[in-house]
Amino acid sequence: MRNEEPLLLHFDDEADEALRLARAVGLRAAPIERHRFPDDELRLRLPAVLPERVVLYRSLHRPNEKLLELLLVARSAGHSGARHLTLVAPYLAYMRQDKAFRPGEAVSQRIVGEFLAGLFDGVITVDPHLHRIGSLAEAIPVPHAIALPGAGLLADVAVAHRGRPLLVGPDAESRQWVDAAAQRHELDSVVCTKIRHDDRRVDIALPEGVDLAGRAVVILDDVASSGHTLARTAERLRAAGAASVDVAVTHALFAGDAIEVIRAAGVDEVWSTDCIAHPSNAVHVAPLLAEALRAILAE
- 4 pLDDT band, cuts 50/70/90, is confident
Which residue segment(s) compose the domain that 58 sits in?
7-148
Alpha carbons 251 and 281: distance in angstroms, whole number:
9
Are 20 and 55 found together in one domain?
Answer: yes
Helix (H) or strand (E) holding 51: none
Structural domain includes residue 223: yes
User: Is 66 a residue of the active site?
Assistant: no
Does 121 score more than 60 pLDDT?
A: yes
Mean pLDDT of 15-29: 97
> What pLDDT score was predicted for residue 46?
97
Are 198 and 228 found together in one domain?
Answer: yes
- 198 pLDDT band, cuts 50/70/90, is low
* From 61, 194, 215, 278, the catalytic residue: 194
> What pLDDT score was predicted for residue 133?
84
Evaluated on CA atoms 65, 150, 209, 240, the torsion sign reads negative
Mean pLDDT of 244-271: 95
Does 292 score more than 80 pLDDT?
A: yes
Does 39 score more than 70 pLDDT?
A: yes
Are 106 and 21 found together in one domain?
Answer: yes
Closest C-alpha to 252, from 269, 236, 233? 269
> What pLDDT score was predicted for residue 129?
86
| Predicted TM-score (pTM) of this structure | 0.93
For the stretch 91-111, pLDDT in tens is 999 998 888 888 999 999 999
What is the share, in percent, of the chain residues with pLDDT greater than 90? 83
Structural domain includes residue 1: no
Alpha carbons 127 and 129: distance in angstroms, whole number:
6
Q: What is the count of structural domains for the chain?
A: 2
- 134 pLDDT band, cuts 50/70/90, is confident
The values of phi and psi at residue 16, to 5°, are -60, -50
Return the CATH number at 109: 3.40.50.2020
Does 271 score more than 60 pLDDT?
A: yes
> What pLDDT score was predicted for residue 2?
63
Structural domain includes residue 299: no
> What pLDDT score was predicted for residue 260?
95
225-228: Cβ within 8 A, 24+ apart = 225/253, 225/254, 225/255, 225/258, 226/199, 226/200, 226/255, 226/256, 226/258, 226/261, 227/254, 227/255, 227/257, 227/258, 227/259, 227/261, 227/262, 228/200, 228/201, 228/202, 228/261
For the stretch 218-233, pLDDT in tens is 999 999 988 999 999 9
Are 212 and 172 found together in one domain?
Answer: yes
> What pLDDT score was predicted for residue 299?
81
Does 1 score more than 70 pLDDT?
A: no
Are 162 and 278 found together in one domain?
Answer: yes
> What pLDDT score was predicted for residue 199?
59
